[in-house]
Chain A
Amino acid sequence: MLTITDLHASVGDKPILKGLSLHVPAGEVHAIMGPNGAGKSTLANVLGGKPGYEVTGGSVEFRGQDLLALEPHERAAAGLFLGFQYPVEIPGVSNVQFLREALNAQRKSRGEEPLSGGDFLKLAKDKAGLLKMDMDMLKRQVNVGFSGGEKKRAEMVQMGILDPAFAVLDETDSGLDIDALRIVGAGINAIMRSPDKGVLLITHYQRLLDVVRPDKVSILAGGRIVETGGPELALRLEAEGYDAVMA
């Protein structure tokens, strides 16, 4: 579903990704762990197409398409969802307005009819409920005045509404308390656990993996994948630390 081959990317003049290769087939939840500065967020941003991240080599194939050739909004329409480590506040734009515009833009580019206001609200209410988020929150401005945990939950509500084929979740667990972590983890399972979907889950902690239960775990260090294994790899990391496991 997602195949990254020998990916090199720089921020400014600084090379961050140095030959990263990774394959995530449909139906797989793949966790990426790694020490600070390894390039985890850079990987997420490169996949999302964020300006300022320059790909200097390699390729990314997503559902048979050259992902890197697409604009960010085209990537979204192709089925990619980027969960932000720091969701952006957009004063003056309500979640409902934003998400309806986003969903209908995606539908349009896929040749589908736009969703009516009523149908959209029904869908939004359903997905908000899944994340135990009050509908009133969705009528408020995008992420404005939301706590760190609320922002992350709102990201998952967005994911539920947009229903992507593949999600790249960049430290979705950071800033969450234990209860919120369970809700978000359950949300990821409900929305993305499917034989025709995939997830790249970037995280520092085992706790989220206890809920989401990845099929594979890879260690990203120095801009490359240095080791891939099953869920037990994350447990080893939690117990022994990166230095010991990578030694």
Chain B
Amino acid sequence: MTTATLPTRRDEAWRYADMDALARLGAAALDAWQEITVPADESVTRCFVVGSAAPEVHRIRLTIGEGASAAFFVTNVGSDYTRVELEVRLARGAHFEFGGVTIGGAGVTREFVTQVVHAEPEATSNQTVRAVHWAAATGNFLGEIKVARHAQKTDAAQDFKGLLLEAGASANAVPQLEIFADDVKCAHGATVGELDEGARFYMMARGVDPASAQRLLVQAFIGDAFVALEDEAERETLLDAALAALEGARL
């Protein structure tokens, strides 16, 4: 069966999507869900860099078993519309960790869309997304958290920070919390700002050239998204891909 029709901006999860790019991609591509199941007490870590010269939509359905954990870390550097979507279901005591970075210019929309369902008690989730954009580009994080009625002791957190390197770039954060249990912790935060000029001058006053100062500050900014990733080589790969994308940015 195919979806046959494309979503519209009226669909909450597609509110900031690039509809022209979706039309180019075609509705059939939206049916390609990748299903991943993490059995009870096991743990899975996945790291990937997404993005190319064509539109990309990655849709992942993740089921995390009792006491299991899954960690996903993504650098989104598409030079056309690039969307990563994660639908996550957490069983009792399971953990989901997500770290994502969207980075780029060229008027492109890059986004993460997550739906994390705390279906059973005592599960935890933590999502950290950083967006760095310039040249009329857009970075989005639409994060939905659903806590079922009996999912007591849920601990869910999501944190978004956008860094806009020039006027005309934008970042959108849409946290959506739907909580039916009463003994839960759900935290969310979102900020959007510019590069810290004071820090940049401080670095330059010590001899660091403007491009290197910007790179160091951006590296520090996006580093938060990959703090929970223990594998240093993987972390380097994700950071390097992001910093390579920064090369074309305005100083």
Contacts and interface: CB of A to CB of B under 8 A. Distances in A.
- A-B complex is real: yes
Interface of A: 48-51, 71-73, 75-77, 82, 84, 87-93, 97-99, 101-103, 105-106, 109, 158, 162
Interface stretch (B4-12, B110-118, B135-143, B203-211): B203-211
Q: Could you tell me the dominant secondary structure of chain B's interface residues?
A: helix
B204 A71 contact: yes
A93 B206 contact: no
Contacts of A162: 206-207
Interface in B214-251: 216-217, 219-221, 223-224
Given A73-B204, A93-B219, 7 more contacts: A72-B204, A73-B205, A73-B209, A82-B205, A91-B220, A92-B224, A93-B216
Given A73-B210, A105-B212, A93 B217 contact: yes
24 contacts: A48-B201, A48-B205, A49-B205, A73-B205, A73-B207, A73-B210, A82-B205, A90-B199, A90-B216, A91-B220, A92-B224, A93-B216, A93-B220, A97-B216, A98-B206, A101-B208, A101-B212, A102-B203, A102-B208, A105-B207, A105-B209, A105-B212, A106-B207, A158-B206
A92 B207 contact: no
A103 B223 CA distance: 23
Listed residue (B197, B204, B206, B216) with the most chain A CB atoms within 10 angstroms of its CB: B206
B206 A76 contact: yes
A103 B197 CA distance: 21
A59 to B, nearest CB: 21
A92 B205 contact: no
A95 B216 CA distance: 12
Interface of B: 196-199, 201-210, 212-213, 216-217, 219-221, 223-224
Nearest to B198: A88
Contacts of B197: 51
A93 B224 CA distance: 12
A28 B184 CA distance: 66
A77 B207 CA distance: 6
A77 B204 CA distance: 10
Given A51-B197, A90-B220, A93-B217, A102 B202 contact: no
Nearest to B223: A92
A141 B202 CA distance: 14
Instruction: Report, nearest first, the 9 A-B pairs whose CB atoms are least far apart.
Output: A92-B220, A76-B207, A102-B206, A72-B204, A106-B207, A88-B202, A73-B204, A102-B207, A105-B207
A87 B206 CA distance: 12
Contacts of B201: 48, 50-51, 72, 88
Nearest to A158: B206
A191 to B, nearest CB: 15
A72 B197 CA distance: 13
Contacts of A82: 205
Contacts of A92: 219-221, 223-224
Contact of A72 (B205, B212, B216): B205
A84 to B, nearest CB: 7
A139 to B, nearest CB: 15
Nearest to A161: B206
Contacts of A103: 207
